[in-house]
Amino acid sequence: MDKVIVITGGGRGIGAATALLAAQQGFKVCINYQADEQAAHQVLEQVRALGVQAITVRADVSIEDEVIGLFQRVDSELGRVTALVNNAGTVGHKSRLDEMSEFRIQKIMKTNVMGPILCAKHAVLRMSPRHGGQGGSIVNVSSVAARLGSPGEYVDYAASKGALDTFTIGLSKEVAGEGIRVNAVRPGYIYTDFHALSGDADRVSKLESAIPMGRGGRPDEVAEAILWLLSDKASYTTGSFIDLGGGR
């Protein structure tokens, strides 16, 4: 059976590193993005240079119609999905709860909670034997913020990742008997563009002294854990979490 992977937010950061590693491991790759077409196309070229079939698909993961279109493109151009990485995520500027707008909180929840749930739904519709599938594997990209809470920074984001962790546990049990494994990674401070969204692009280097290992993480270090969880080497692992926080 061909290995077909969908990586949401695959054009940059952790998603891009995951796309490259997946290509090296022989997956056909779907790189989803929301806005940065140029970045997604750069990753597409790198992935195709490794000799694998790949596509980019623009879709906002928080809107079901767009998620349906994303999976239909994968069906017709790559084949039935066998692996999903729910990586797309966002965060707001560092602030206290009493300074946050309803719009901001809704955007965080829609992207970080609704998005992965909707994508998982449409993956399960293709992976589950109840729908003619042959199983598969899902990895959700959560955060150490889910257990630290991020007070004074972005409690809304931390809460969204807490919800994603609970979803990981519940769905893993729901589909465990159908050959579908569901796990999560929880990165700490990783060097990506993500921190510009919180208002400080240099955040990771400034906070390195607070990390027990004394450094921020690299996207490829997170990608390694994601690909392990997706692989047959993790065949008895479901409902599990790998923290990549340098000791945080």
Residue positions annotated with a catalytic role? 157
The nearer residue to ligand NAP, 62 or 168, going by C-beta atoms, is 62
**How does 213-245 read in b/e, with b if 16+ C-beta sit within 10 Å?**
eeebbebebbbbbbbebbeeebeebbebbbbbb
Residue 21 sits in the site that holds ligand NAP (CB under 6 A): no
- The yes or no reply on residue 187 touching ligand NAP (CB under 6 A) is yes
**Residue from 35, 49, 201, 213 in contact with ligand NAP (CB under 6 A):** 35
Contact 155, 116 (CB under 8 A): no
128 binds ligand NAP, rule: CB under 6 A = no
* Gap between the Cα atoms of 15 and 58, Å rounded: 14
Question: Least CB distance from residue 222 to ligand NAP, whole Å?
Answer: 7
By CB under 6 A, the count of residues binding ligand NAP is 30
Q: Report how far Cα 221 is from the mean position of its chain's Cα atoms.
A: 14
List b or e across 98-133, with b for residues whose CB sees 16 or more CB atoms inside 10 angstroms: eebeeebbebbbbbbbbbbbbbbebbbebbbeeeeb
8 touches ligand NAP (CB under 6 A): yes
Closest CA to 145 of 98, 94, 219, 213: 94
Choose the stretch contacting ligand NAP; rule: CB under 6 A; options: 58-66, 96-104, 168-176, 230-238.
58-66
Q: What's phi and psi for 60, nearest 5 deg?
A: -85, 115
Nearer to ligand NAP, 12 or 104 (CB): 12
Q: Is 210 in the site for ligand NAP (CB under 6 A)?
A: no
DSSP annotation of 217? B
* Contact mark string toward ligand NAP, 75..104, x via CB under 6 A: ------------xxxx--------------
Q: Which of 7, 190, 223, 234 binds ligand NAP (CB under 6 A)?
A: 190
User: How far is it, in rounded angstroms, from Cα 23 to Cα 202?
Assistant: 30
111 belongs to the binding site for ligand NAP (CB under 6 A): yes
Binding site for ligand NAP (CB under 6 A): 8-9, 11-15, 32-36, 39, 60-62, 87-90, 111, 115, 141, 143, 187, 189-190, 192-194
